[in-house]
Amino acid sequence: MTDLSLSKDKIRFLMLEGLHDNAFKVLADAGYTNVENIKTALDEAELIEKIKDAHFIGIRSRTQLTRKVLEKAEKLVAIGCFCIGTNQVDLDCARELGIPVFNAPYSNTRSVAELVMAEIIMLMRGIPEKNAVVHRGGWGKSATNSYEVRGKTLGIVGYGSIGSQLSVLAENMGMKVIYHDAVTKLPMGNARQVANLDELLANSDVVTLHVPDLPETREMIGKQQLAKMKAKSHLINAARGKCVVIDDLADALQSGHILGAALDVFPKEPKSADEEFESPLRAFDNVILTPHIGGSTQEAQANIGLEVAEKFVRYSDMGDTLSAVNFPNVTVPFKDGTHRLLHIHQNVPGVLSQINLSFANAGINILAQNMMTEGDVGYLVMDVDDGDSAKALERLKAVPETIKVRVLF
């Protein structure tokens, strides 16, 4: 249980996987200098050793923050996923331990949308296979299975921030756009939402996936769904690796029912550039395979570095958890002449009234108070008179349901 906030030079940041320089500039400008920068992901044993003294950890998609790892991170205050996804983190465990998780849900959406748009054009023209033939000395000059995208139908599965942006790009190229989403979404431009996945598959020249990693999206495209796609259509997956059954896609490509595919994510991905990538899709010249680079542009990484590092600073400086993905979202404006206390506790009835009664009995004046709950955790931010912080801290520590408490300033 943390008591008092450390001075900024004592707060330790562990940053993994080659994060953008912008992240380090944000931390330095805010006065945080105790930052370790490691260019790669770490295996479990190394990660457990490194994380035990870290207050903040920044990662991308390779680092796996499992329950086993998190339970060893006794000083950890917050986690930053410098990417869109957070499935590499045990979010429930982090919340139980009082650790908010931040990410950058929108910073690389344009990068992913542009990559997919480029892949649509390449696949429709048959460029991957033609390129491979020329590299081997052949000259397959032919218009067979080569089409313009204008007038063709793009089916988008998942009409969120990436899917909707791709929708606009595709319409600007003259494509018709249909989409399927778990909930009703307002269309961009002339896009049209269809009733179900089967309708989308049957009417699309290209199907592209933009869904989160959920039980219902895992293996959502397998043998049955591929068979329902239009003959000689194309499949793109820049969402999550487990969305597509790779062996079934390989069979559909082998039979010629699926004319081409592009995948940026895979069920099993190498942990480093030294590990060989293995997949049956390597055998197909008509498949574009990229190493999970949908959001890997300089612009996206710069934006992500700024966004997540700024969330770290706001939480460390102010206790602000706005946009945390697993944690109550609380923000309280700064007030001069006050001390701020953060109280993370089990979400059971009566905790707030217990705290307020305890403070009243001790004569502690509460100047501001904001509390929210998320699942089994409650998060309370309180400002008290600057002379009352020591008493307030002791009162909060005495609450039986307390997970973490500290004086922030």
Q: What type of residue sits at position 217? A: T
- Name the burial class of residue 39, with classes exposed (0-12), middle (13-18) and buried (19+) by CB atoms within 10 angstroms of its CB: exposed
Query: Distance between alpha carbon 354 and the CA centroid of its chain, in Å?
Result: 37
Q: Copy the structure tokens of residue 23.
A: 């992240």
Q: Copy the structure tokens of residue 293.
A: 């680079």
Coil, helix or strand for 408?
coil
Rounded distance, CA 371 to CA 30, Å?
A: 26
Cβ 379 vs Cβ 344: under 8 Å: yes
Q: Copy the structure tokens of residue 205.
A: 């020249």
- Name the burial class of residue 171, with classes exposed (0-12), middle (13-18) and buried (19+) by CB atoms within 10 angstroms of its CB: middle
Task: Count how many Cα atoms sit within 13 Å of the Cα of residue 139 in the half-sphere of its side chain.
Answer: 0
Position of tokens 């600073």? 313
Rounded distance, CA 391 to CA 8, Å?
A: 24
Task: Identify the CA nearest to 145 among candidates 168, 166, 126.
Answer: 126
Contacts (Cβ under 8 Å, ≥6 apart) of 233: 204, 205, 206, 207, 258, 259
Q: Measured between alpha carbons, how far is residue 344 from residues 138, 335, 374 in Å?
A: 65, 21, 11
Phi/psi of residue 391, nearest 5 degrees: -65, -40
The residue from 12, 240, 339, 395 that is catalytic is: 240
| DSSP per-residue letters across 358-370 | HHHHTTPPEEEEE
- Name the burial class of residue 236, with classes exposed (0-12), middle (13-18) and buried (19+) by CB atoms within 10 angstroms of its CB: buried
Coil, helix or strand for 93?
helix
Neighbours of 278 (CB within 10 A): 10
Rounded distance, CA 51 to CA 12, Å?
A: 10
Q: Does residue 292 carry a catalytic annotation?
A: yes
The residue from 269, 310, 314, 401 that is catalytic is: 269
- Name the burial class of residue 173, with classes exposed (0-12), middle (13-18) and buried (19+) by CB atoms within 10 angstroms of its CB: middle
The residue from 110, 292, 343, 395 that is catalytic is: 292
Residues marked active site are found at 240, 269, 292
